Amino acid sequence: MKKKILIVDDDPDILEAVGMLLELEGFSVTTSTRGEDAEKLKGNYPDLILLDVLLSGKDGRTIAKHLKQQTNTRNIPIVMMSAHPSAHTTIKEYLADDFIPKPFELDHLVGTIKSHLPS
């Protein structure tokens, strides 16, 4: 069964490119430009969430912390990503599992995602 990944980023170009890449890698991908979609997960949970730090109107770190404090979503790995140079210094306090700086190498992205998903 394919592993499910939810990508949340307010940049449609990133969603399209990363979504296509991860589908080629054999993942089932859902994308959203809205942080609220990640916060309101109900059933059919993804196996991993790839979450931008700075979303339009929402802070991805706050979303990550909220998800990690909920019983149904606390064990879903969350990989944060950002172009902001100091964003990586705060992700642990928001309970995210990992960080990828933008721009990223595609091999690094895929390797990071796979490292958080059991085979």
pLDDT tens digits along 54-105: 888 789 999 999 999 999 999 999 999 998 877 878 888 899 999 999 998 9
Mean pLDDT rounded to a whole number for the chain: 92
Is CATH 3.50.50.60 what the domain over 4-115 is classified as, yes or no? no
pTM of the prediction?
0.94
pLDDT bin (cut points 50, 70, 90) of residue 49 is very high
pLDDT at 15 over 80: yes
Q: Domain limits of the chain?
A: 4-115
List the Cα angle 32/36/41 in 5-degree steps.
85
Nearest CA-CA partner of 79 in 57, 60, 106, 55: 60
Structure tokens, 40: 């309101």
pLDDT at 51 over 90: yes
